[in-house]
Structure 1
Amino acid sequence: MAPVGAGLWRTLRAHQVYGANTDVGKTIVSTVLCNAVQRQKQRAAFLKPVSTGALDEADDRHLERYGAGALTKCLYQFDEPVSPHIAAKSKTIPRDDDLLASIHQTLSGWARSDIDFALVETAGGVHSPGPNGNSQADLYRPLRLPIVLVADSRLGGISSSISAYESLVMRGYDVQSVLLFRDDYYQNHDYLGQFFSKKSIPLVHLPAPPGKPVQMDADAQRRDEEAMHTYYRQASQESEILRLLEEMSLTNKTRIERLEEMTEKAKDLIWYPFTQHQGMQAKDITVIDSAHDDYFQTFNSGSSANPDSELRPTFDASASWWTQGLGHGNPDLSLSAAYAAGRYGHVMFAGAVHEPALSLASDLLETLDNPRFRKVFYTDNGSTGMEVAIKMGLRAACDRYGWDASQEKINILGLRGSYHGDTIGVMDCSEPSTYNKKVEWYRGRGHWFDFPLVKMVNGKWKVEVPAELKEDLGADSEFSSLGSLFDLNNRLSSETSGRYKAYIHRTIKDLVETHGMKFGALILEPVILGAGGMLFCDPLFQRCLTDVVREHPELFSPNAPAAKESPSWSGLPVIFDEVFTGLYRLGRPTSASFLGVHPDVGVNAKLLTGGLIPLCTTTASKEIFDAFSSPEKSDALLHGHSYTAHAMGCTVAVDSLKTMSKLDKDGSWDGYRADWKEVASSSTQESTPEVWSVWSNGLLQDLSSAESVESVFAIGTVLSISLRDEQGGGYTSNVAKGLQQKLAVGGDQFNVHSRVLGNILYLMSSVTSKPDSLREMERLLRSSLL
C-alpha cells in the first residue's frame, strides 16, 4: 500500500476533530463550525471515516440535516452502537493504510473542487480504537492534520481534556483550537481557558445545545429540529466562532508561507555538515515538515507529481544518517522519553546512579553476549564513544608493555578507509582522506591495511583482492552465496586464510622491527566500513587480522621486558567500532558475531535508542578497566560529558533493545530470511551461516548486471550500489548524483531521500520497514538503472 502524505492544502483548510472523551459533542461542534463557514458564503465539508450505530443517528446524517448545506461523507459505516474495533468484527475490516488513503484521497478531491473548509471527525476519545484496534491517535498520525480538540465540560472533564491534549502533543500533532460547552456549575471552560491560554491555543466555549425531549413523538421531533436549527444559527454567528475561523485560515496560510521561506532562510543562517556551500542553492535544501514511520513529510510546492498536495511522503533512505531503527515518531519510544523527562529531567551521573542507566548497562551486556565485557561507559555519540575506546586501548597497551606515551608515539592498526568520527583524537586513527587531511591538527597515527572487498558482480558473489596485493593474498574468488562467504569455520582452514595471516604477520613484523613503530590497539569496523565508502571487507581478512594480533603478542614489543602475565587480551586490545553496524543494522545483535570474535572494547550508538535520542556506550573488559585503577586520581579515565547517561536516552535505549530483540525472535523478519535462505539452500553448502537482507536477492542479481553498475551488496538493512566511474571513483566522484536525483523525483507513491559517498549510493531501511515500501523502492531502482 502506498504511504499517505500528511494533510496540507492551499485551497482547503482541513482539520481533524478529536474529543477528550466520548459523548462530549464533537459532532455538534463540527456542525457549528460548518454552519459558520457556510454562512460566510464558503463551502464546508464533513468527513466521518468510521461510524458506528444506527444509520439515522449517524454523525454525517446529523451534519446533512443541520449543516446548512455542508457536504458530508462517511467512508465506513457499522451498524452496532459500539467501539469501531468491536463493531467491525463481523464485517470486512478496512486496513489502516486503506482507511488513511481513502481519507487523503477524499480531502485531495475536495481541495481540487470548490470546498474551502473540511473537518475529519474521529470516533469516541483520543485513544478510542479504530477498526483494527489501534488507537486513533496513532492510526491517524500519518495525516497529521491540525487538531480541533473538543474538551469535556462535565465532572472530571478538566483531567480528561488535559490528558487528551498531552497525548496528541506527544505524538506530534498541532492542537490549534479547543472548544467546549459552557457549564455554569462545573465551569471547566474557565479553568481550561487559562490552561490553554498559556499554550497560546485559543479556547472557545459554546452555549450548551438544547436537551432532547424525553418522549420523541412526531410533534416533539419537529420542535427538537426547530430548536437545533435555531441553536446552530445562533451559535455559528457568535463572534468567538467567527474569530476562530479567521485564525484557522490565517494559521494555514502562515504555515505554508513559513515552509516556502525556510530554504532561503536556512541557506542564510545554517552551516551544514559535510557540505561545500559554494554554489549551494536554496532549492538544494529539503524542507521536512514532519516524519512518521519510514517517511519524511517534505514540502512539495509546485511539484508536478502531486500538484494538489503541499506535503509529500519521502522515504528516509539514509535512515537519517544511520540512526533510524524503529521508525520516526514511534509513540512507544516517545512515551518512554516523556516518562524519563518527567521523572528525572537530567541528573548528574558522576558518582551517582539511576535505574535507566543501570538497566541499560545490564541489558546491553546481555544483548552483546560478549564474555569479555564487564563495564559500560556512557557518552553521547559515536565519535566521543570512540575517543573513550582509544583512551582505554592505549592505556591498557602502555600499561602492559611499559611504554611512556608522553615520550613515544603510539600508533593504531586498522584498515584503509576507516572512519571513526570527527573529533580530533579519532581522526588520527584514520589514514589521510577527504575527511581529515585538511584539518590543521590531523597527524595520522597508525598503519592501515588494504584489504579484499566483498561485492556482487554480474550475479556472482566475489572477493576482490587489490591488484597490488594479489601476489601476497592470491587471486579473486567467487562464492555460491553470501552465507558461504561468511562460513569462517571452513574458510579458516583454507589456503586463503594462510596467505592472509602470513601477509599480516609479515607486515606487522616489518613495521615494528624495521620502522620502529609501536602499536597500542587494533581498531576495526566489523564487516562494513561505513563513511569510508560502504566498503564490505572480506570477513575472513578481519578475522585473520584479529587472530594474528592476539596470537602473536611478541610482535608488538620484541625488545621490551616481559609483559604482565595472565592477560584476558593478548597482543593488542581489540576495539570494534559498531556505531554503524551494531544492534541489528546487519540483521544480528552484533556485527562482531559475523567474525566469531569477542572484542576487548566495543562502541555502540545510532540504533541504541532506535533513532530517537543521541546516546553512546563504550563497553570494556575488566582488565581494560583495571588498567586505570590506581591510588592516583590522575590515573582515572578522566572523560565525561554534562549529559552523561542522561535518563531519557537510557530509558529509550532499554525499550529499543527490547523491541529489536522481540522482532528478531517473533518472526517479523522471517519473510526476508526465507528469500535469502532459498538462495543459500540452492548452493552446494546448505549448512552455511544465516546471512540475510531486507533487500531482495533478486534485486541484487538484476542490479549487479546493469551496465552502469560496477557492483552491489546487501546485508541486513543496508544496500550499497557502486556505479562505474571512468575517473576511478572515490569520495570526490559525482557519478552517483544522477541516480540520487532520479530517486528524489520518485514515482507515484513517494520519492526518496538518499545520500551518496562518491560513486557509491547507499540505501538503508529501519528494522520495522514494511515490505510493500521496500518493494516499491526496488521498483524505483530498477526503473532508474535497468
Structure 2
Amino acid sequence: MNLSERDIQYNWHPYTQHKTAQPHIAIAKGEGALLWDENGKEYIDAIASWWVNPYGHSNRFIADAIYKQLTTLEHVLFGGFTHEPAVLVAEKLMEILPDNQKKLFFSDNGSTAVEIAIKVALQYFYNKGEKRTKIIAFENAFHGDTFAAMAASGISFFTEAFQGSMIEVQRIPVPVKGHEKASYDALEKLMATNEYAAFIFEPLVQGAAGMVMYEASELDRLVSLCRQHSVFTIADEVMTGFGKTGKNFACDYLQVQPDMMCLSKALTGGTIPMAITTFTQQIFEGFYDDDVNKALFHGHTFTANPTGCAAALASMQLLGSEAMQQNIQRIHECHLSFQQKVKNHPRVATTRVLGVIFALEIQTGSQESYYGDFRNKLYNFFIGKGVILRPVGNIVYILPPYIISTSQLEKVYKTIEEALEMM
C-alpha cells in the first residue's frame, strides 16, 4: 500500500466527511513555497498551509534555531519555572505589539489563545463581583473549535451540534461597505445592557468567511464604543498576525487598540504548535490579588515550550528582515496587478486585496455552500494543476508564503484564470 492508502486505515482528518472524501494526498517533502507528494508531483502551496508558513517549508534558519534549542533545553514545565527563550519571546513581542499590551500568556494553538482571552474577560468581572456572562462577536466569524472559541464563531454548521452547550454570544453585522451604521447601531444597543464582558473580532479580515474585509476606521469606532462602556475588546490575530495584512499586525492600522490579542499560526513559522494571548496591565491587575482563587487557573503541558519559543524568535527575526518586508510588498503589488487584470472578468463578482491576501468571488448565480460541489470542483481543478488553493464556497483566496517567487505567483494567477474559463 502507498502512504495515502495506509493513512485511511487509522487517521481521522479535520473538516472531513470520510465517507465521501477522496484519499488524502501524501506529502513527502517541502521546500520554499513548494511541496511534493509521494509520487513526486509538485504543488505550489498558495495558502501557506492554512496560513502558518510565511517563510517557506523546511526553512533552514528556523530549523537551525530549533536544533540548537533541542540540544540545550527541549522542554521544562512553566508552572513555577521559566527559561530564557520564553523571556526573549516576551521581550521581542513587546517591541512590535501595540504599546498597550503589557502581559502575555503562552498556549498551544489559535483556538486556545481565544479560549484564554474569553475566559479572562469573564473571570475579570467575576473577580470584581460583577455579573457579565455574555460576549459579542461578528456574524460569520470564525475563532476556533474549542468551546468558547466555537461559541464566538458564527459559521453555523461548525457549531450547530453543540447549541445549548456554549456560553451566550450576541452577533452584530460586520461593518463592510454599506453596513457600517447597522454594525455600530447594533453594538451600541448591546452596550446599554451591561451584560457583556467582551467583544471579539477578526481585525480587518474575516478569514474563514472568505477573506471578508472592512475598514480600520469602522473598527476604531466599535472599539471606542466598547471602551466607553468598559467592555473588553479581543483582537483575534491568529490569521492576520505577523505580516499578512502588510503590517506586523492588523491592529497596527487602528487608532484605538484592543485590550487583548490572540496570536498563533505564523508565530513559529509553521514549525511547532504555539500560541500567545496578550493583555493590558489593567486586565492582569484584575487577577493580581492576595486571594489565590482570583488567579487565572489555566495551563497547558507544553506552555512556553522552549523549542517552540526558539522557533518563534527565529520567525520574528525573519519577519523583521529587510528582505522579508520587501517580499511582502512585492506580493502585495503582484496581487494589485492581478486584481486589475481580472476584476472585470464576466465571472468575477468582487475582488479584494490587503497585504499578501487576495480574494476573488466567482459569480455563480446561486448561494454556494462552504464545502459544496462547486467548491469541490474548484479545489480539484487547482490540485490537478499543482496549486494548493482551498476555496470557501465560491470565493478563491491566495495567502502565500512570503518567499514565493514572482513566477510561482504568476502560475497561481494563471491557474485561477483558467478556472474562471472552465466554470
TM-score (normalised: structure 1): 0.51
The equivalences for 1:277-426 within 5 A come to: 277-282=18-23, 285-300=24-39, 311-368=40-97, 370-399=98-127, 402-404=129-131, 410-426=133-149
The equivalent of 1:249 in structure 2 is none
CA distance in structure 2 between the partners assigned to 1:586 and 1:315 by the alignment: 21
Deviation (angstroms), 1:321: 1.0
Structure 2 residue corresponding to 1:636, chosen from 295, 298, 302:
295
The letter of the residue matching 1:728 is Q
Answering whether residue 380 of structure 2 is matched by residue 741 of structure 1, we say yes
CA distance in structure 2 between the partners assigned to 1:761 and 1:504 by the alignment: 26
Cα contact 2:172–2:187 (8 A) shared by 1: no
Cα contact 1:574–1:601 (8 A) shared by 2: yes
Structure 2 residue corresponding to 1:598, chosen from 227, 236, 257:
257
CA distance in structure 1 between the partners assigned to 2:61 and 2:416 by the alignment: 32
Deviation (angstroms), 1:504: 5.1
Deviation (angstroms), 1:669: 4.5
CA distance in structure 1 between the partners assigned to 2:225 and 2:407 by the alignment: 45
TM-score (normalised: structure 2): 0.93
Deviation (angstroms), 1:606: 0.7
Deviation (angstroms), 1:701: 2.0
The equivalent of 1:578 in structure 2 is 237
The equivalences for 1:674-753 within 5 A come to: 693=332, 695-746=334-385, 751-753=386-388
The letter of the residue matching 1:381 is N
Deviation string 1:93-112 (CA, Å, 9 cap, x unpaired) is: xxxxxxxxxxxxxxxxxxxx
Deviation (angstroms), 1:652: 1.1
Name the SS of the counterpart of 1:435 in structure 2: helix
CA distance in structure 2 between the partners assigned to 1:541 and 1:730 by the alignment: 29
The equivalent of 1:271 in structure 2 is 12
Cα contact 1:393–1:575 (8 A) shared by 2: no
Cα contact 1:380–1:643 (8 A) shared by 2: yes
CA distance in structure 2 between the partners assigned to 1:754 and 1:511 by the alignment: 38
Answering whether residue 271 of structure 2 is matched by residue 612 of structure 1, we say yes
Deviation (angstroms), 1:385: 0.9
CA distance in structure 2 between the partners assigned to 1:705 and 1:404 by the alignment: 52
Paired residues, what number?
Answer: 421
Name the SS of the counterpart of 1:372 in structure 2: coil
The letter of the residue matching 2:79 is A
CA distance in structure 1 between the partners assigned to 2:124 and 2:280 by the alignment: 11
CA distance in structure 1 between the partners assigned to 2:215 and 2:17 by the alignment: 33
The equivalent of 1:485 in structure 2 is none
Name the SS of the counterpart of 1:314 in structure 2: strand
Change (3 A) 1:398 1:596: same
Structure with the larger RCO, 1 or 2 (CA within 8 Å, 6+ apart):
2
CA distance in structure 2 between the partners assigned to 1:620 and 1:414 by the alignment: 19
What's the C-alpha RMSD, in Å, of the aligned pairs?
2.2
Name the SS of the counterpart of 2:95 in structure 1: helix
Cα contact 1:427–1:442 (8 A) shared by 2: no
Deviation string 1:527-546 (CA, Å, 9 cap, x unpaired) is: 11112332212333222211
Deviation (angstroms), 1:422: 0.3
Answering whether residue 169 of structure 2 is matched by residue 446 of structure 1, we say yes
The letter of the residue matching 1:263 is S
CA distance in structure 1 between the partners assigned to 2:22 and 2:391 by the alignment: 18
CA distance in structure 2 between the partners assigned to 1:546 and 1:630 by the alignment: 28
CA distance in structure 2 between the partners assigned to 1:665 and 1:783 by the alignment: 30
Answering whether residue 404 of structure 2 is matched by residue 769 of structure 1, we say yes
CA distance in structure 2 between the partners assigned to 1:504 and 1:745 by the alignment: 41
The equivalent of 1:518 in structure 2 is 195
CA distance in structure 2 between the partners assigned to 1:524 and 1:440 by the alignment: 21
Runs of 4+ that moved beyond 6 A: none
Structure 1 residue corresponding to 2:306, chosen from 630, 638, 647:
647
CA distance in structure 1 between the partners assigned to 2:163 and 2:55 by the alignment: 39
Deviation (angstroms), 1:432: 5.9
Cα contact 2:210–2:397 (8 A) shared by 1: no
The letter of the residue matching 2:160 is K
CA distance in structure 2 between the partners assigned to 1:761 and 1:383 by the alignment: 24
CA distance in structure 2 between the partners assigned to 1:669 and 1:518 by the alignment: 42
Answering whether residue 146 of structure 2 is matched by residue 507 of structure 1, we say no
CA distance in structure 1 between the partners assigned to 2:54 and 2:70 by the alignment: 21
The equivalent of 1:627 in structure 2 is 286
Change (3 A) 1:444 1:630: closer
Change (3 A) 1:778 1:653: same
CA distance in structure 2 between the partners assigned to 1:664 and 1:297 by the alignment: 26
The equivalences for 1:408-487 within 5 A come to: 410-431=133-154, 433-439=156-162, 442-443=165-166, 445-453=168-176, 463=177, 465=178
Deviation (angstroms), 1:695: 3.6
Deviation (angstroms), 1:292: 0.8
Cα contact 2:327–2:402 (8 A) shared by 1: no
Change (3 A) 1:531 1:649: same
The letter of the residue matching 2:370 is Y
CA distance in structure 2 between the partners assigned to 1:778 and 1:726 by the alignment: 23
CA distance in structure 1 between the partners assigned to 2:28 and 2:187 by the alignment: 52
Cα contact 2:45–2:387 (8 A) shared by 1: yes
Cα contact 1:723–1:736 (8 A) shared by 2: no
Name the SS of the counterpart of 1:784 in structure 2: helix
CA distance in structure 2 between the partners assigned to 1:635 and 1:664 by the alignment: 46
Deviation (angstroms), 1:452: 4.0
Deviation (angstroms), 1:694: 5.3
Deviation (angstroms), 1:398: 4.4
The letter of the residue matching 1:268 is Q
Deviation string 1:538-560 (CA, Å, 9 cap, x unpaired) is: 3332222112222x32xxxxxxx
Deviation string 1:291-328 (CA, Å, 9 cap, x unpaired) is: 1111111134xxxxxxxxxx022011221111011110
Identity in percent: 26
The equivalences for 1:147-226 within 5 A come to: none
Deviation (angstroms), 1:349: 1.2
CA distance in structure 1 between the partners assigned to 2:300 and 2:185 by the alignment: 41
Cα contact 1:703–1:709 (8 A) shared by 2: yes
CA distance in structure 2 between the partners assigned to 1:385 and 1:704 by the alignment: 37
The letter of the residue matching 1:275 is T
The letter of the residue matching 1:784 is A
CA distance in structure 1 between the partners assigned to 2:383 and 2:184 by the alignment: 47
The equivalent of 1:542 in structure 2 is 219
Name the SS of the counterpart of 1:523 in structure 2: strand
CA distance in structure 1 between the partners assigned to 2:210 and 2:101 by the alignment: 30
The letter of the residue matching 2:111 is S
CA distance in structure 1 between the partners assigned to 2:108 and 2:308 by the alignment: 9
The letter of the residue matching 1:609 is T
Cα contact 1:605–1:617 (8 A) shared by 2: yes
Change (3 A) 1:383 1:671: closer
The equivalent of 1:677 in structure 2 is none
Deviation (angstroms), 1:399: 4.8
